[in-house]
Amino acid sequence: MLRTDPSQLLTAILLDLLVGDPRQWPHIARLTGGLSTRYEKILTGTAKRSVALGILFWGLVAGTIFAGYALAYFLCLKLSWVA
């Protein structure tokens, strides 16, 4: 496990308070929220809400995020060992 110096933690908190997260920058939470909204509209427009539909919904969102990660990972491997 990595050890964190208290000064690193304090610096991170101060930077977050000063700079924050710019609204225009992409973020995984925003991407996941957008996917969830789109998949919910598609699924609930064609079928009634149920446990099975919820499982399918979860699989679609998690699967899409995982597929995007895997694609980015393998592209980085092909482009350069540094990436």
Query: Residue 39's pLDDT is what?
Result: 96
DSSP class per residue in 24-82: TS--HHHHHHHHHHHHHHHHHHHS---HHHHHHHHHHHHHHHHHHHHHHHHHHHHH-S-
Distance (Å, whole) CA 62 – CA 56: 10
Distance (Å, whole) CA 69 – CA 29: 14
Query: Residue 22's pLDDT is what?
Result: 75
Local confidence band at 1 (pLDDT 50, 70, 90 cut-offs): low
20 versus 18: which is more confidently predicted?
18
Query: Residue 60's pLDDT is what?
Result: 97
State pLDDT tens for residues 62-81: 999 999 999 999 999 898 87
State pLDDT tens for residues 28-51: 888 999 999 999 999 999 899 999
Tokens of 7: 């000064």
